[in-house]
Structure 1
Amino acid sequence: MNLLNEDNVVHVFLNKLGDIVIANLLFILCSIPVITIGPALTALYHCMMRTVKGNNNGTTRTFFRAFKENFKQSLIVWLLILVAGIILVLNLRFLLHANESAANMLFYLTIGVLTLLVIFSLYIFPVIATFANSLGALCRNAFLLAFMHFPTTVAMAVITIFPLYMTYLDVKLQPLYACCWFFFGFGLVAFINSMLLYRFFKKLLPPEENVTLL
């Protein structure tokens, strides 16, 4: 009878695992057009934040509602990040083959800007998923939170980038990695990051919003 109790550890674990898998599959489905990766990522974080809080009542419904409500802001941010990222990577490739003395300085400057872009990317979609504000305020708050909680930022960067790097690096195990990413990888990364972020996100929400988390 204890196994049927909703507060049972096994029951809670399976519910959270189910939320992660469903949200992961929905994220992949909505990311297929590529330009919609931003809104899909915001919806994924919205679901995972609710799962962490324990009030994710219907992952599919929650995902598509967040996808629709945050579509415009997330799309604009994603397209800007995508364009900026492409420009910076192409600039790095060009500077690697440049022989001028100023190329080294520009190379490290570009790496610095790319690092800031990565840090911004780690925070902006969870911030959009959790808080309602103008796009300018959300972007500013994403930067502020990233540097106010720098140890968390470093942890999120490792959690997010290291698995992707290992997938790219280990050619022999890429089919296994691909299988993991397809079924739960993106959702699990977002869930772990949401656990880290929710510790200080909940302090910034009004009491009534803290209960429902949007």
Structure 2
Amino acid sequence: MGDHKYKVFSFLEKAVDFLFLSFIWAIMCVPIITIFPSTAAMFGVVRTWQLQKGEAGVFITFFKLFKENFKQSFGLSLIWSLVGLSLYLNFQIVSLTGSVVEMVIFIVSVLLSIIFILITIYVFPMMVHVKAKWHELVRNSFFLVVASPYSTMIIGVVTIGTVYFLLDNPAGLFFITSILAYFISYWFLKAISKLQIN
């Protein structure tokens, strides 16, 4: 009976941690410029859970990692915003009137956008797992996209499903984001351990 109560308590404690982490992340993303640092910190927290490192609470760990990764993640957010904007403008320019050239440009743009999104998903767990310069993080993330198609496919499908859910249920930002981060981090660590990126 005592063991059962302990398991229930552990489950509730972990559920509260997930809720609290999602809530902190959502609040810290209100200033748009802190979205990347906040997301890196969230992935850092779930990584400590999975690797069983550190005994500090969610709040302390989050802001410690937020501070540690702020400079790099903020710099990357500026570069990433420009890349994302250029891809978006490229779609706006291509009118698809039927010309072969425009069709080729459109297909290339779609492929680049998919790769861009997948790299974006991987770059956050990569940032808190590997100490490297931003371009090395992007390179390693791209390598992971190509070298781990199974993990990438699973992460991509679940992420898309979560995004669709959040579009209909925006309040989910306050509880589901940390669960998604945990899921992505799990498959990231699984893939990276096989490839031995460090």
TM-score, structure 1 normalization: 0.82
Is 1:191 equivalent to 2:182 in the alignment? yes
Offset at residue 199 of structure 1 (A): 2.2
CA contact (8 A) 1:92 1:107 kept: yes
Offset at residue 65 of structure 1 (A): 0.7
SS in 2 for 1:36: helix
Q: How does 1:36-47 map to 2 (within 5 A)?
A: 36-47=34-45
Stretches (4+) displaced over 3 A: 96-101, 200-206
CA contact (8 A) 2:119 2:145 kept: yes
Offset at residue 198 of structure 1 (A): 2.3
The change in CA–CA distance for 1:108 and 1:141 in structure 2 (over 3 A counts) is same
Identity over the aligned pairs, expressed in percent? 24
CA contact (8 A) 2:166 2:173 kept: no
Cα distance between partner residues in 2 of 1:34 and 1:49: 24
CA offsets per residue over residues 32-62 of structure 1, 9 Å max, x none? 1112111111001011112223345311111
Contiguous gaps of at least 5 residues in structure 1: 169-173, 207-214
Task: Kindly report the root-mean-square deviation, in angstroms, between the aligned alpha carbons of the 2 structures.
Answer: 2.1
Of 13, 16, 37, the match for 1:15: 13
Q: For residue 211 of structure 1, what is the aligned residue in structure 2?
A: none
The change in CA–CA distance for 1:33 and 1:124 in structure 2 (over 3 A counts) is same
Q: For residue 84 of structure 2, what is the aligned residue in structure 1?
A: 85
Cα distance between partner residues in 2 of 1:150 and 1:193: 14
Cα distance between partner residues in 2 of 1:84 and 1:78: 10
The worse-fitting range, judged by mean Cα deviation, of 105-114 and 72-81 is 72-81
The worse-fitting range, judged by mean Cα deviation, of 134-143 and 189-198 is 134-143
Contiguous gaps of at least 5 residues in structure 2: none
Cα distance between partner residues in 1 of 2:109 and 2:84: 10
Cα distance between partner residues in 2 of 1:143 and 1:97: 29
Cα distance between partner residues in 1 of 2:9 and 2:189: 22
Which amino acid in structure 1 is aligned with residue 67 of structure 2?
A: K
Of 156, 170, 181, the match for 1:178: 170
Offset at residue 92 of structure 1 (A): 0.9
Is 1:63 equivalent to 2:62 in the alignment? yes
Offset at residue 77 of structure 1 (A): 1.6
Q: For residue 162 of structure 2, what is the aligned residue in structure 1?
A: 163
Q: For residue 33 of structure 2, what is the aligned residue in structure 1?
A: 35
Offset at residue 4 of structure 1 (A): 5.0
Offset at residue 155 of structure 1 (A): 0.9
Cα distance between partner residues in 1 of 2:20 and 2:193: 24
CA contact (8 A) 1:16 1:51 kept: no
Q: For residue 116 of structure 2, what is the aligned residue in structure 1?
A: 117
More relative contact order, 1 or 2 (CA 8 Å, 6+ apart): 2
The worse-fitting range, judged by mean Cα deviation, of 151-160 and 52-61 is 52-61
TM-score, structure 2 normalization: 0.88
Q: For residue 76 of structure 1, what is the aligned residue in structure 2?
A: 75
Count residues with an aligned counterpart: 195
